[in-house]
Amino acid sequence: MAIIELRGIKRYYTIGDIVVKALRGIDLDVEEKEFLAIMGPSGSGKSTLMNILGCLDKPTEGSYVLDGLETSKASANEFADIRNKKIGFVFQGFNLLSRTSAIENVELPLFYDRSGKKINARERAITALNEVGLEARLDHKPNQLSGGQQQRVAIARAMVNDPAFLLADEPTGNLDTEMTLEIMALFQELNSRGKTVVMVTHEPDIAAYCKRIITMRDGSIISDTRGSDNRQASDDLEHWREKNRHLAQGERT
């Protein structure tokens, strides 16, 4: 079943007398339980495509059906509801409220949900934090958490509404190697449990952990590859830690 169906998506911007063709007719299906990476150099259109997928922008032409709902004709209020209910956002910068605990940060999207989910907001937030391994950090504020733990809070916040898919924009861009591998292992684990993940990245090493890689250039998709033997971040994380244990032991001796 396709959660995302794009047909003929074009996005043009007018700057003075110049028309910038950011997207030139994108056709794309993303099936349930896929783990998809969108890659491309600066100016390729991947950020514009991410904004369309995230219902942060509307196409100039074309159709975007998300989880059976045609989004291109949605009003501003309907667009906001779609973002809240259907899409879980994970950003490079975490975007957590600094004076607010992990559990309160995760509860936040539920207060904007008009479907009644906020009635069980605390319970749902605890469940989401448990799923990302932060059951012992519920009351910690962002400055009491590592970068990787902050991103885990952000992922829990993205999942708390049980969205159709997670949309991650360079989610490891602010993290060191160990934390990057931790977060990619978490995304792979969530995907193995059935969560659909779409990730925008410019790093081939990060895309290698995804099951499908789309490459863009000049507003078009130039390649779409699938692989069943993609790397496992949990294995790479263990190898990295083992290597650093040996290095640390060598320095002590």
Interval 161-187: pLDDT, tens: 999 999 999 999 999 999 999 999 999
Q: What is the mean pLDDT of residues 225-235?
A: 83
Distance, in Å, from the CA atom of 187 to the CA atom of 168, rounded to the nearest integer, reads 10
Give the pLDDT confidence of 38-95 residue by residue, as tens digits. Answer: 999 999 999 999 999 999 999 999 999 999 999 988 888 888 889 988 999 999 999 9
Give the chain's end-to-end CA distance (angstroms, integer): 57
The per-residue pLDDT for 111 is 84
- The mean of the pLDDT values for the chain is 92
Q: How far apart are CA 226 and CA 242, in angstroms?
A: 30
Query: Strand, helix or coil at 76?
Result: helix
| The pLDDT of residue 113 | 67
Token duo for residue 128: 């989401």
Rounded mean pLDDT, 190-203: 95
What DSSP line would sit under 28-53, residue for residue? Answer: EEEETT-EEEEE--TTSSHHHHHHHH
Answer yes or no: is pLDDT of 252 > 80.
no
Decide if pLDDT at 253 tops 80.
no
Q: What is the mean pLDDT of residues 137-149?
A: 96
Exposed / middle / buried, residue 136 (Cβ in 10 Å: 0-12, 13-18, 19+): exposed
Quick one: pLDDT at residue 96?
Answer: 95
DSSP 95-147: ---TTS-HHHHHHGGGGG-TTSGGGGHHHHHHHHHHHTT-TT-TT--GGGS-H
